Amino acid sequence: MKIKLFYFARLKETLNYSTEDLALPDEPITILKLKALLAKRGDTWGQMLMGKLKVRAAINHELVADNATIHDGDEVAFFPPVTGG
């Protein structure tokens, strides 16, 4: 399956990625598993996604918990806790 990924704020800046298209095996995957998968790309990725930093995730523009499941065609985003207002 194919998903679209977005990174924001500190994650975007540190990973130097704002968006990417990702091809994944055709089976359900949770946010947590996707994070673990991406963390294998290297130390920076591991630190940003599985380290001490709190990371929040959205699927198709909805905030979701780590056990939420990603489906084919979903837009997934990773970002720090929000600080607007």
Partner 1 sequence: MTVRVQTEDFDIGFELKQLRLARQDIGAVVSFVGQVRDINEGDAITTLTLEHYPGMTEKSLENIISQAKNRWDIVDALIIHRVGTLQPLDQIVLVAVSSAHRGDAFNACEFMMDYLKTEAPFWKKEVTPQGERWLEAKQADDDASARWNMKK
Q: Which residues bind partner 1 (CB under 8 A)?
A: 6, 8-10, 12-13, 54, 58, 61-63, 77, 79-85
Residue 58 C-beta: closest distance to partner 1, Å? 6
Residue 10 C-beta: closest distance to partner 1, Å? 5
Half-sphere exposure of 84 (CA within 13 A, CB side): 3
Residue 2 C-beta: closest distance to partner 1, Å? 18
User: Between the CA of residue 69 and those of 13, 15, 27, 29, 40, what are the distances in Å?
Assistant: 26, 23, 10, 6, 20
Of 11 and 29, nearer to partner 1 (C-beta) is: 11
CA–CA distance, 85 with 74 (Å, rounded to integer): 28
